[in-house]
Amino acid sequence: MKTVGAYEAKTHLSELLERVARGEEIMITKHGVPVATLQKPQGSPKRKPVHETIEQLKQFRRTHNLKGLSIKEMIDEGRA
């Protein structure tokens, strides 16, 4: 397991997160004392295929009605 200081972790967080995404674990220390571990979450959700998400949206639209409202009217209502 790689060990990095808190300052280095702050400075290079994006790089460290990419390494964690590839499966590496990283220990963060403060004044040489371990304070945290970066690791992938257990059972992280998998991304759904795009076609599955589109099908879910189509199903939602079949069961939900805008009752004659236009997109512009909804946007204007949201701004009120």
Over residues 8-33, the pLDDT tens digits come to 999 999 999 999 999 999 999 999 99
34 and 54, same domain (yes or no): no
Rounded to whole angstroms, the Cα distance separating 30 from 41 reads: 23
39 CB neighbour count, 10 Å cutoff:
13
Q: Does 9 share its domain with 29?
A: yes
- Rg, the chain, Cα only: 23
Instruction: Please provide the average confidence, as pLDDT, over all residues in the chain.
Output: 90
Q: Are residues 29 and 56 in the same domain?
A: no
With respect to residue 45, please indicate whether it lies within any of the assigned structural domains: no
Find the CATH number of the domain harbouring 8: 3.40.1620
Q: Where in the sequence is the domain holding 32, given as residue range(s)?
A: 2-38
Look at the chain and report how many structural domains it folds into.
2
16 domain residue, yes or no: yes
Mind listing the pLDDT tens digit for each residue in 19-78? 999 999 999 999 999 999 999 988 767 778 999 999 999 999 888 887 888 888 888 888
Give the distance, in angstroms, between the CA of residue 12 and the centroid of all CA atoms in the same chain.
19
Q: Is the dihedral of CA 7, 8, 9, 13 positive or negative?
A: positive
